[in-house]
Amino acid sequence: MNRLYIVEDEALIAIEIADRLSALGYEIVGTASRADRALVEIETLKPDLVLIDMRLGEGVTGIGIAQRLHDRGEIPVVFLTAYSDPNLLRQAAETEPFGYLVKPFEERELHATVETALQRHRAERALRETNAKLRAAQAALEISKELFESLAASSPTAVFRTDAAGRCTYVNRRWEEITGIDSADAHNAPWTNALHPLDHASVAAEWNAAGRRAAQFQAELRVGGSADSWVIAQTAPLRGPDGAMIGHVGTLTDIADRKKTESALQLLSNLKGARSEFPSHIVAGLAALFDADFAFLAQPVAGDPESARTLAYWADGKLLPGIAYKIAGTPCETVVGKEIRVYEDGVQKLFSRDAALVPLGVNAYAAAPIRDSLGRYCGHFGVMRREPIVKPSVVQGVLELLSVPIAAELDRANAEQKYSGLFEFAADGILMVDASGKLQLANRKAESIFGYGVGELTGCSVESLVPLARRPNHPSLREAFTKVGTPR
């Protein structure tokens, strides 16, 4: 029940108004004919609404009471008046009353005016409370924003925040380092501007779809201008006090090291299926792995330790014939028999005696020594780039990872070559036969003994070399020998 207070200097009118309002279901908590009493009781009783006659007897007028109530707080006022004096009404309006009742008035007018004033007061109070909550939320948001930016500034992970449309409102220093975009250029620009051109279209479409659903987003992608700048991008929606999405917060985690390692392991896996073309396969793989203009695999020249010869040489997307070169004065001199070297830029100035660097436009160099099973230097491999090496520590780690398996593969190739020489030029005839009796290999002496040309025996049946008289029994003898497996 709404509680009302009446200030009226005419007693009969005050009683009539009180009776009418009581009949309408309102509680009359008090009446007064003078301002001093009214102000004291209203302060104590705190009614929901006060009805005040504009003109009272002596002392403070009804307008004066309304002004004091307006200055004090939130109790609404409805004026009662029998006057329409413009000057008086202007003074009353300055107190911001919630309504007017002109005497005499009907009960329905009284009811409508009081109810309208109460409804308006409730609506305004609710609006004030909502605004207060919004101001508190905004203050909390500002504190949260300051805390967020303080933590993000020292984070080793790239952190960014956007508005609802995905435009950056904040990026930390790590973001600038990973993407190559400074905070001034990032501000108010879509965060997807940081995506590498190879990933931009697909990733931007995927993220925009997630943004429309106000969903979280995660993807492995590349940023900046380097195809090696792999990151894991993650974003989550930010919501305001009313639950509406107001933006996104996101991170970029550098995974370039992991991606390089995965690519290196894939290269090593591919080597197992390409052993016959090991040197050319490794230089092509190195060029792709490091986005290099040149890649090489070299060994020292027999009898000339001051020189090296490339087993395979890759230049500008093509496999070129091997070359021999003097090691002194070249970047290779710091690698041969020593350790992994990465010169991310300025290699021409560092090795001005190397006449090949300038014509090739080489500015960056990275290579690793190869050691055999006894730890002896037996070669080196590496890459050269016209552009600087962006992440030298990553390159060094991958070269170290590759050096051992490449050394093992080179050992195997050398052993096969050595075995091939012993086999081919042996003083005795040697045949290799599979379980079905087909000749797989025959050395030069065997071909000479049986009167065949080079390679003509391969694929023939071994029975064709057995005297005619013994041929019928030879398959059974061969099968028995295969089962027993004892040399004879």
Amino acid letter for position 469: A
The CATH fold assigned to 3-126 is: Rossmann fold (3.40.50)
Token pair listed for 484: 């027993």
**Fold match between 3-126 and 155-254?**
no
- Map out the domains of the chain as residue ranges: 3-126, 155-254, 259-423, 431-484
CA nearest neighbour of 368 among 348, 347, 397:
397
Alpha-carbon gap, residue 422 to 443, rounded angstroms: 10
CB 316 within 8 A of CB 359: no
Q: Is domain 259-423 annotated with CATH 3.30.450.40?
A: yes
| Residue listed under structure tokens 């905004």 | 138
User: pLDDT tens track of the chain, all 488 residues?
Assistant: 889 999 988 888 889 999 999 999 999 999 998 888 888 998 899 999 999 988 776 777 888 888 888 888 778 999 888 766 777 778 888 888 888 888 888 888 889 999 998 888 888 888 788 777 777 666 666 656 666 676 777 688 899 999 999 999 999 999 999 999 999 999 999 999 999 999 999 999 998 898 888 889 999 999 988 777 899 999 999 887 778 888 998 899 988 888 877 877 777 677 655 555 788 888 999 998 888 999 999 999 988 989 999 999 999 999 998 899 999 999 999 999 889 999 999 999 999 999 999 999 999 999 999 998 788 898 999 999 999 998 888 889 889 988 888 888 777 766 666 666 666 777 788 888 888 888 888 878 878 888 887 778 888 888 888 888 888 888 888 887 777 766 66
pTM above 0.95, yes or no: no
Give the CATH class of 155-254: alpha beta
- The C-alpha torsion from 81 through 87 and 92 to 93, rounded to 10°, is 120
Neighbour-count burial for 295-318, b at 16+ CB within 10 Å, e otherwise: bbbbbbeeeeeeebbbbbbbbeee
Q: Is domain 431-484 annotated with CATH 3.30.450.20?
A: yes
Query: Phi then psi for 132, rounded to 5 degrees?
Result: -65, -40
